[in-house]
Amino acid sequence: MKLPGFIDSHLHMLGLGYYASLIDLSQAKSIKEVQDILRNNMPNNILIGRGWNQDQFQENRIITKHDLHKVSTEIPIVITRACGHVLVANDKMMEIAGIDISTRKVSGGDFSYTNGIFSEKALGLITDHLPKPTKNHLKKYFIKANQILLKNGITSIASDDFCVFDIPYNDIIEVLKELYKEDLIQVKITEQVNLPKSQFIDFLNNGYANKKINEKLKMGPLKILADGSLGGRTAYLSEPYADDKNNYGINTFSDKELFDLVHLADKNNIDVAIHTIGDQATQQAIDAIKKSLEITKRENHNHALVHAQLTRKDQILEMQKYNIGAIVQPIFINTDIKIVDKRLGERKNNAYLFKTMDEFLDLGFSTDAPVESVNPFYNLYSALTYKSIKYPNLPSLNKGQCFSVKQALKAYTVNNLKYIYLDKLDESDYIIIEEDIFSLEVERIKDIKVKQTIINGKIVYNQDKKTL
């Protein structure tokens, strides 16, 4: 049957292509397995891995630099957690980055020289010292990501690409322009502009605000990260973690800093897309937007919270009042189902209230790939069942929040239009699947494969012809 092409309203296209080129640790069930995978992939310059998750480790603890030293003390090693908000570096890597026991704390982030674990804004202490990609690398990553997206039936995305590497945002725009010109990528991109304040000012000064670069590429909202992740215990909560009584998580900005950023965008007619996972980060974001709107009086804004994982009912109503949308990822249930209980205790009843949000707000689906799989049918399955594909034996996280197929498809297409700044679906962007998704039994929806993806009336992916 024919379906509209999927619109993914928050992912990291460059990150998706880059991740595909790194050592994959996402399947490791133990620290020992992480070590084995790294040993089997020894390069001669630097070892970069991604996707580990301590919640699936047999050892029941987080991995540290000491575990990496058993792999190598000579070659720098950096491995990033599945969420992308936490990494571990060995001594050699810290030496290259100039970090030792006396290195000062970073506000909005955390790190420990003793165990080599870095989170949030402290990630830069390490990532700024990784080899910088060349223009050809960037092109390779985008081309790879484009192939992955088309194979999955995704025709439009809102993508956060400026912060993956420490390179000027303009280089990324130039690379994308060239790729489109050479027809090496076809997916349509709305850039979620993730820049620190000074560079965002430069972006404004250069006339990039809401700019349409070409038919397929436009500049969208300012992307702001207000907190971290639940898994990494860096999501900012109003009450401490159930499994870490002194820890409220991390707020990346003070209230004033966050307001200043939001207001800078808002008064320039630019929307904000704010990453908030914990309820306290959500509150900070709502308050900042509310305060800014009182000054700018903008009516047709598309401000949104990205993730909104632990958002209380009272907050959903407040979001509705100020017309703040939600860009959510049902697929997060796939991994988080194992930890919500531990991290949140009773508060888990206020987590992932996506169906409730859908009743009150403009709610759109996305995957945050490469944090989770970009496969829309996995994401749909999560929304329809609130169950995990990874842990199929665990019961549904919240049966009352399950979407119908129709509601879920709407959240993945029509509802996302406002996040890519379109009024209606483009009929020349569609996909062909073999099954009838409306009559298929739910358990089989996750296995649906895309036969063809069509953009602007042209076949850009064909299952039968592996390469185009």
What residues line the site for Zn ion (CB under 5 A)?
A: 368
User: At CA 26, angle to CA 176 and CA 10, rounded to 5?
Assistant: 40
Identify which of residues 161 and 368 has a Cβ nearer to Zn ion in the complex. 368
Closest CA to 376 of 161, 51, 169, 156: 156
Identify which of residues 8 and 368 has a Cβ nearer to Zn ion in the complex. 368
- 4: preceding bond cis by omega (within 30 degrees): no
Q: Within 10 A of 415 (CB to CB), how many other CB atoms are there?
A: 22
CA atoms within 13 A on the CB side of 138: 23
Q: How far is the CB of 83 from Zn ion (least distance, A)?
A: 9
- Torsion-angle region of 456 (φ positive above 0: left; ψ -120 to 50: alpha; else: beta): left
Q: How far is the CB of 10 from Zn ion (least distance, A)?
A: 6
Distance from C-alpha of 234 to C-alpha of 212, rounded to nearest angstrom: 35
Q: How far is the CB of 86 from Zn ion (least distance, A)?
A: 14
Indicate the angle between helix axes 169-181 and 135-151, nearest 10 degrees.
60
Separation of CA 235 from chain center: 14
Identify which of residues 122 and 163 has a Cβ nearer to Zn ion in the complex. 163
Identify which of residues 67 and 368 has a Cβ nearer to Zn ion in the complex. 368
Which residue is it, tokens 């003793």?
A: 114
Q: How far is the CB of 329 from Zn ion (least distance, A)?
A: 9
Identify which of residues 191 and 368 has a Cβ nearer to Zn ion in the complex. 368
Identify which of residues 65 and 223 has a Cβ nearer to Zn ion in the complex. 223
Q: How far is the CB of 239 from Zn ion (least distance, A)?
A: 25
Q: Are 290 and 298 in contact (CB under 8 A)?
A: no
Q: How far is the CB of 435 from Zn ion (least distance, A)?
A: 30
Distance from C-alpha of 31 to C-alpha of 344, rounded to nearest angstrom: 25
Q: In this chain, which residue has its C-beta nearest to Zn ion?
A: 368
Identify which of residues 34 and 163 has a Cβ nearer to Zn ion in the complex. 163
Q: How far is the CB of 424 from Zn ion (least distance, A)?
A: 27
